[in-house]
Amino acid sequence: MLPIVDKPLIQYAVEEAIAAGATKLVFVTGATKRAIADHFDADPELERALQVAGKEKLLQSIQGIVPKGVACIYIRQGEPLGLGHAVLCAKPAIGDEPFFVHLADDLIAGDPPCLRQMADEHDRHGGSVIATEHVPKSDTSSYGIVAVDEDDNNRIHQMVEKPAPEDAPSDLAVVGRYLLNPRVFDKLETIERGAGGEIQLTDAIAELLPEEAVYAYSFSGTRYDCGSKLGYLEACVDFGLNHPETGEAFRKHLKGMDL
């Protein structure tokens, strides 16, 4: 629910998913995360009050949070057993079709939005698609790291969760966007706990690699790791500078600072 300028991160995630054609949004949350469901609920009382007060612009902004025709499903992950486990919790709501996984703390500014780019990539050659970017070798232990076959559309042939730099197969890191075929659920159901004692999505995908094509996709855009203090601050500054209401005055403010 951390806001970037005027919207919480989870809303950026929802808007990106809808722009990529998603019509069913499955939120997997932990205990105490009720604010997320509350945020996307309609609020008829507030809507009436804004209407009476003639606050049209505000009224439209809250009515547009989840467009008509898009369903929201909320699932609780009973125990924090890892990203792979969180994705497995969504299985009953997903069924037998390709699906996106969006980790909302990775905010990506892209045009078209990152998930849209990935859906287009999927249309080109099928298979699962994972967004990646190069990271400093010293940072590999914070990411899933892949090795790809560049002559085959960057098909992934190795994938390791959070390897030490000396064990990393490359410097190509997974970021928080995946377009996955549902067979990954079979793997998630059987894998053992991995790095950090958690059920890792990376390990399930790694088991799929010999059986199905999974491609690494270098998205166009800028990623902000809003799970880190610096990434969050960078996102606030860049989005503030690009925002139609705040951009000009904020730029002036920053220029006037004695840095």
Interface positions with ligand G1P (CB under 6 A): 83, 103, 106, 143-144, 161, 173-176, 200-202
Q: Of 113 and 176, which CB lies nearer to ligand G1P in the complex structure?
A: 176
The pair of three-digit structure tokens given for residue 92, joined into one six-digit string: 């009953």
Task: State the minimum distance, in angstroms, from the CB of residue 205 to ligand G1P.
Answer: 9
Task: State the minimum distance, in angstroms, from the CB of residue 52 to ligand G1P.
Answer: 44
Q: Of 117 and 200, which CB lies nearer to ligand G1P in the complex structure?
A: 200
Helix (H) or strand (E) holding 222: strand 222-225
The pair of three-digit structure tokens given for residue 70, joined into one six-digit string: 């898009």
Q: Of 18 and 206, which CB lies nearer to ligand G1P in the complex structure?
A: 206
Residues 6+ apart with CB under 8 A from 95: 182
Task: State the minimum distance, in angstroms, from the CB of residue 103 to ligand G1P.
Answer: 5
Write down how long the chain is.
Answer: 259
Question: H helices within the chain, ranges in order?
Answer: 9-19, 34-40, 44-52, 56-63, 83-89, 91-94, 114-125, 184-190, 201-208, 229-242, 247-255
Task: State the minimum distance, in angstroms, from the CB of residue 247 to ligand G1P.
Answer: 28
Task: State the minimum distance, in angstroms, from the CB of residue 61 to ligand G1P.
Answer: 29
Q: Of 50 and 115, which CB lies nearer to ligand G1P in the complex structure?
A: 115
The pair of three-digit structure tokens given for residue 123, joined into one six-digit string: 């249309």
The pair of three-digit structure tokens given for residue 44, joined into one six-digit string: 């008829």
The SS3 call for residue 251 is: helix
Task: State the residue number with the nearest CB to ligand G1P.
Answer: 144
Distance, CA of 224 to CA of 140 (rounded, Å): 17
Task: State the minimum distance, in angstroms, from the CB of residue 40 to ligand G1P.
Answer: 22
Residues 6+ apart with CB under 8 A from 257: none
Q: Of 139 and 189, which CB lies nearer to ligand G1P in the complex structure?
A: 139
Helix (H) or strand (E) holding 212: none
Q: Of 66 and 208, which CB lies nearer to ligand G1P in the complex structure?
A: 208
